[in-house]
Each structure stands twice: as structure tokens, then as C-alpha cells.
Structure 1
Amino acid sequence: MDLNTVVEIRDARDPAPWRPGDAWLGGGTYLFSEPQPRLRRLVDLSRTGWPPVELHTDGSLEIAATCTIAQLSRFARTLDAEAAPLFEQCCRAFLASFKIWNMATVGGNLCNALPAGPMISLTSALDGECLLLAQDGVRRRVRVADFVTGAGRKDLAEGELLRSITLPARSLACRTAFRQASLYGLGRSGVLVIGTLDPVDGSLAITVTASTVRPVRLWFPLPPSATALRAAIGAAVGEGEWFDDIHGLPEWRCHMTYHCAAQILRELTEVKR
């Protein structure tokens, strides 16, 4: 879609004061999908030259906000980590064309803060941390699970930039389980639940997305019983936080979340033969 209110595109490498009507431009797959009448200038991040994915010496993984889904998928195929399959599972949860895969960015998916955003699912499940850059140069770090605060809402100030997401080495070493549910075969995720089992201390994390307006990450020092897990999810998801739209009623999303979480608990706690 043409954005006929935009009068200027600025290269993000050339600093300039932020002003009302500015917006960061990454892949643009959402930005150009519908009218944006408030926008006057786009600040283009495509030529920043940030490495899409970096594996640090401490074993942590840093994903640039400008990393595309296609780049992340290709990298994950070479990643020697127990959690590597989860990357492709979440990339495939887009159910998008190759054109979207090659343009849509990880940062854009987080900043849109849509409940069904699978990069939110991936990075919150692996206990990711966002690096945010303010216009005055101040940096701050926020856990992905806290960065997305509601449907379309995030902890991002005016002019602030999501630079990257870092996944700790310990999370990458976890055994993972993935469940996704949609109302129809190629539909948007109505429920997406991910479990991670820490090989060091046996702790379990269950992350609920798509069915809730924000990511809900529950950590247990030891795997709970099915009854305790169900109670923990019910207590963590507040009144009105089960998402309600054309892709699923809250009651269905709640039921399927409990069902998927129970399956994940069984999968991750059964003895591997």
C-alpha cells in the first residue's frame, strides 16, 4: 500500500532529531499493509549493516532487530544447540509466503506486539532480553516477556529503538516442546505454547502466547503436576487477558492452552529412551 502521507525517507545511519510523525522502517511488511495517516517520515534501518545473528563467546545468541525470518531460519539450521529445532517451528508458525519471510524482521514482529507473533513466542520462551536505544543514547534492557505488555502494546518510548534480542546460552541448551493450535488448517495461531526443560537443574518453563494478550512465562524449579500447572496458568492469566478476536473465542483459547500445556508437560518429563 502506498503511504501517501509520508514525505521523506531518512537513512538511519545519518543522525537527525526525532520528530512527531517519524517511524522506524525495518522490513515494512506491516507498515505498508494498511494506512498510516499519522506518519510523515520513515527512518530506514535496512542499511545499518547490523549482523543478523551473532553467536557470542559466552554461548549467548544475539539477534538483530533487522534480522529477517529467512535469515533466522537459515542460521538455525546450522546452530548446534538442543533448542535449535524451536527456531524453525516458530518461523513456520508465520504460515507466510517466501516474500514475507525475506522482508519481515524479528524486531518488527516484536514491536507490532500482536498476540500471534511467533518471534515473541520464540524469544520469550528462551528468556530473551531486548536491547533498547533511546534518542539521547541511553540504553536499557527489558525481558521479552515484559516488553510486550498487551495486544499491540509494548514497553517502547517515543523514538526508542529495539536494537537486538539476546538469548542466553543456558536457554539454548534446554530441551524444548512446541504446540500450536488454529481454528483452521492454515490459520493464524490461536494458541501457541512452548516448554523448555533446563538440563542443569531440571527446572521447567512454560510460555503461553497467541491465546493471551501478552506472553505469559511460568517457571517451576521442578516440573509440577498437571493439576498444579493448570492452576498456575489460571492464576497467571488475568481477567480479560485471554485474547478475543475472529481467530478464536477466549473460552476456546483457554481450553486449548490447558490442553497443549499438559501435552508439553508429559513430553518433557517422560524418560527419553
Structure 2
Amino acid sequence: MAAISELAVVEEGAEIGEGVEIGPFAYVSAKAKIGDRTTIGQCARIDGDTTIGEECRIFSHAVVGSIPQDLKFHGEEVKLIIGDRNTIREFTLLNPGTEGGGGVTKIGNDNLFMGYVHVAHDCIIGDRCIFANAATLAGHVEVGNGVVVGGMTPIHQFVKIGDLAMIAGASALSQDIPPYCLAEGNRAVLRGLNLTGLRRNLPRETVNELRVAYKELFERGKPLKEAAEALLAGAESEEVKAMCRFVLETKRGIPYERMKDDK
């Protein structure tokens, strides 16, 4: 049975799961769907056609599902879909999609959004990501699994970030970051592999293969896509293949410091 404060506003039509807790002065729209055992804190707002999975924690003054901050938005039907066990801290803002991006913003499972994070329209976010305080994602950003974005870091629209990548705090990212890599700076550039994250998630042999691949791609001075094609042709590791495919498919380019061929 849900525990809803008498001071909360839950519009007729909202679907509220078992064990949901809704604090005083919170608002839940008529089109919202709230999964079992999710908690919605005091003064939080769940707006629009928003689906929230099970066991999420939404803290005070978070705004989830309010209309996109896009001048092309004209009231069309759009959605925000959030998976299970996400933590959404104070004053975070999550927007739904727009007609130009398929109409859906989608967030996976087990993510942490710290205070004042903004996820704009049409973003796609995987599982187990961490967005530190005041990280901001513009529209159409795609983020893989296990990604960490440091505080005060803005990410340009249409940027893609691969699995287990890390973007340092107070950076400004305007190009794509391949999986397993670490980027830092304003503008952010590759600084190497996210070795701490890799060692926590991948076997040592795979990490060593990725170190060799990173050097071949970004430190040999060869044309980037030529190096990626050569590596992909001979790679056995799925992780190395994923890195090469990402490089070959990038639309915004990879931000790395060009070096002379060391042959």
C-alpha cells in the first residue's frame, strides 16, 4: 500500500505502485506511472508522461518530466522513461524527449544523479552511471553503461560517451569519448584509459589489451580511422572491437592530441 502525504498532490489517473512513498507538497501528474517501493521526497515534482521504475529515490525539489527546454517544442506528446533503482538528488532536472529526437528521453537502471544535474531532451543513458553535482547534458546526448561524469561538466548536444568512460570534473565536452577512456580539460581531450574503472570491472588481460589498443589508436600518430580499421580486423577482445567500432562510427570526432608517428 502506498504512503502518500495528505499535503501531496497526486492527480487522478496517476498509476502508483505498491509501497510508494510520496512526501508533503510533492506533485505527481495524471500521466505519471510510479513503480513499486519508489520514494518521492518533499516538494519534488513528477510531471507529464513520465514512467519511473521500482525502488527509485527522488529527493526534495527534483523536477522530473517537465517540458523540454527546446524552442521547437510545441506541446506534442513526449515521454520520459526511467528504470529501476535510480537515485535522483535535490534540484535535479530531467526532461522528456522532443519530436525531433523520437519523443523519448530514456534512463536505465542503478544510476546516480547528484544535486543540480540536468538531463535535457532526447538523451539516452545506460545503467550504473554517476553524474556528479551540476553536470549538464544537452539534448540528444547518449551515454553508455558505467560512465562517470564529474561535477560542473557540460556536455554538448549529440555527443556520445562509451561504456566505462570517465569525464573529469569542470571539463567541457564537445566531442565523442570512446568506451573505457578518460577525458579532461576545457575543451576536454583524451588523457588515457579510465584505469580505475576498468580494473574494477574487467579482467587484467582485457585491461592490458585495451592499453595496447589505446596506444595504437591515439599515440602512434597514424590516421585514426585507418588505425581503427587495422585493429578491428585483428582484434579478439570484444572490448577492443567496441572501441574500434566507436571510433569508426563517430559523427562528432574524437578529441585527442595528435602525436607524431614514433616508428
Considering the TM-score relative to the shorter chain, is it more than 0.5? no
- Structure (1 or 2) with the greater helix fraction: 1
TM score, norm. by length of structure 1: 0.31
Q: Which has the larger radius of gyration?
A: 2
TM score, norm. by length of structure 2: 0.31
Higher relative contact order (CA 8 A, sep 6+): 1
